Structure 1
């Protein structure tokens, strides 16, 4: 397992006509002057206009849940004190898309936050980010702008579960970055107890683009069912690892040329292992229907002739270690499942036991982490059935361990 810190430079590039990555430089942030030359000033829109536009383009959140953004906006009250929270706590170790945006295009993220704040009449915007380089980039961008006095950038703690939106809210409110119950939603009780519109960094950047282009202009890219573009992080055996902006509807095969039938992880550490990407596209509804949601936007392909099972075992243990320790299915169930995965790598293990334990965890956690971790582990066991058989017969497959996934140094 490769153990690295957040890279100094994140390769970021468009795959086709750029939107959120328009005009970027790969090694520094766009200045306020450069940003305005590309995107103009924020297109501040009334709440009704913004809600209608979000519905017209079926704008889905760019975090793991892909929740309709218009529904989230409509859930906010009319009048009274409220706030906007930009969640830049990208806890998925294999995903760099939000950190890339904050680092090379911070003004677009700020634009989106200002658009939402103006539509709601919110007087305060908080940007929560744990990555030091992204934090510095946002802080510098705010210093350049005359319109960002209401925005505060807060340096938060890192961690997979700590980046979940309810954990971020609790961390900012109480110092304890743990998610509340599944019904404890920010639009009801968010920062300082106020109704809070909260979403991840890429979602706000997409809102800024939508406000500027309008629904028709936004829909000029992508598909009828999901217009627009998405950021994805390519990892492993790819032409160039890094963050790409792709039109929705792009075939995954086009992003992963060669090696048809190779093992691929779609969605990151809460994602799904598949043996073929044939017919799969960057389309959230279609991927969810296929059983492999896009999640955090990570698409990873291990290198040929490596032991993927060994790396799955390491990541499974890391996922178990990320438990917030507040519910039994996560605290007890994930370590047990990680033990099962390690047993397979050692030439032992029981598929029936994994199925039983996964059923005891799935759908019973206080947050989405147990479900996502179970999906990662259980789909790996299915996709790696042939590899498991080889390990069971010989104790090992004889190949070097796969090492494509980064894990934070402090968590290793």
Structure 2
């Protein structure tokens, strides 16, 4: 469980205000949740350009507008935080469950959806939610359901499959939950932080919400900062905060940075980079430092990602296995590994049954670009001389 020392705020605390409070204390901190209509939520989300706080960063207003006028079956909170390094959603579920529930329940009432389903794979998060529900009377059917913790199990369609009692893997067909979601009925599904932000937006209104952050997408965001830093944890910042500000605040070592986690991209330089969606993706900032072998770290993560495949399409089953072999050969100085890696990376994107192959290819492609000097050292056969310290974490 994330402790108090793991949470920090740059600027104004909103979703991290009033942690570890019971319902009465929560309401004293945030105030009562107003009763809003579906049109109110669409208007508010449009006014502030609110995007989902998962990896896709899809505009919330567009998702709401895609739902039919009647017959919405459920509001689903995706708490299956399957990215190994990310901790922001688990933090909210364990230490601010009432804020997440406010967002989900308020929206469910507005959509006239009879069910709120919360998918979690973390035991502490599930316990916290169930305890919070005992304090509330939301006049809805609210269930906390356990889901697997595998990487692809956090994908929206995999979560829906698990909630229906099926296997937690994304189906080959790409049908939006707003059209065919829970039990093939229209469903609003988003991740935990999105619902917490909706609860804040409903209370503050568009003007109050927009008093911080970017003009194009105001408000705050949660970032998980880890790796070669002295103060890892979850930080709430205004949207558009400079990356260097966050790195300095966390006490990061100089060196490359991975934005967005294992499906993200590497940056060689951080000057002038602003943290906003969709660039920051799932809200993960990983500092690599200079003491570990970059190529070894990347190969280690690639091997883990291969093991997380749903095993239902060629790009995952064969493509990721080939890439792991390519990078392993490259690490020991085989030039053919370098050539094969580039060839295979050009064949994978856009061909998978889910986003896992594309995300992995993006991660590895940017690694080859950013760590070219390190790659050249390995191709000499001598390597870079640095050990693999496991700075990227999460693959245990």
The normalised TM-score by structure 1 is 0.91
Equivalent position to 2:275, from 272, 282, 294:
282
Is 2:13 the partner of 1:18? yes
Is 2:164 the partner of 1:173? yes
Equivalent position to 1:368, from 344, 348, 355:
355
Structure 1 residues 386 and 85, CA gap change in structure 2 (3 angstroms): same
Structure 1 residues 10 and 135, CA gap change in structure 2 (3 angstroms): farther
Distance 2:252 2:134 in 1: 48
Q: Can you list the C-alpha shifts for 1:171-226, whole angstroms capped at 9, x where unaligned?
A: 11242111123532211111122211000000000011111101111111101111
Equivalent position to 1:355, from 322, 327, 342:
342
Equivalent position to 1:389, from 360, 376, 379:
376
Residue of structure 2 in register with 1:49 after alignment:
40
Deviates most, 383-392 or 344-353: 344-353
Structure 1 residues 81 and 259, CA gap change in structure 2 (3 angstroms): closer
Q: Can you list the C-alpha shifts for 1:260-286, whole angstroms capped at 9, x where unaligned?
A: 9721101100000110111111121xx
Aligned length: 393
Secondary structure of the structure 2 residue equivalent to 1:34: helix
Matches within 5 A, 1:183-222: 183-222=174-213
Structure 1 residues 218 and 401, CA gap change in structure 2 (3 angstroms): same
Structure 1 residues 30 and 134, CA gap change in structure 2 (3 angstroms): same
Contact 2:221 2:237 in 1 (8 A): yes
Distance 1:346 1:95 in 2: 31
Structure 1 residues 178 and 319, CA gap change in structure 2 (3 angstroms): same
Structure 1 residues 80 and 278, CA gap change in structure 2 (3 angstroms): same
Contact 1:103 1:133 in 2 (8 A): yes
Distance 2:354 2:139 in 1: 33
Structure 1 residues 198 and 320, CA gap change in structure 2 (3 angstroms): same
Distance 1:193 1:88 in 2: 20
Equivalent position to 2:119, from 128, 134, 140:
128
Deviates most, 259-268 or 7-16: 7-16
Matches within 5 A, 1:241-252: 241-252=232-243
Is 2:297 the partner of 1:304? no
Contact 2:252 2:287 in 1 (8 A): no
The normalised TM-score by structure 2 is 0.95
Deviation at 1:147, TM superposition (A): 2.0
Secondary structure of the structure 2 residue equivalent to 1:137: helix
Residue of structure 2 in register with 1:315 after alignment:
301
Deviation at 1:41, TM superposition (A): 2.4
Secondary structure of the structure 1 residue equivalent to 2:81: coil
Give unpaired runs (5+ residues) of structure 2.
Answer: none
Deviation at 1:134, TM superposition (A): 0.7
Equivalent position to 1:264, from 229, 251, 257:
257
Q: Can you list the C-alpha shifts for 1:287-324, whole angstroms capped at 9, x where unaligned?
A: x5xxxx21111100113222122111111011111110
Secondary structure of the structure 2 residue equivalent to 1:256: helix
Deviation at 1:355, TM superposition (A): 2.1
Distance 2:240 2:339 in 1: 37
Residue of structure 2 in register with 1:85 after alignment:
76
Deviates most, 312-321 or 257-266: 257-266
Distance 1:117 1:10 in 2: 34
Distance 1:15 1:90 in 2: 24
Distance 2:98 2:259 in 1: 29
Deviates most, 298-307 or 104-113: 298-307
Distance 2:210 2:140 in 1: 32
CA RMSD of aligned residues (A): 1.8
Deviation at 1:408, TM superposition (A): 5.6
Q: Can you list the C-alpha shifts for 1:109-132, whole angstroms capped at 9, x where unaligned?
A: 000001110110111100000011
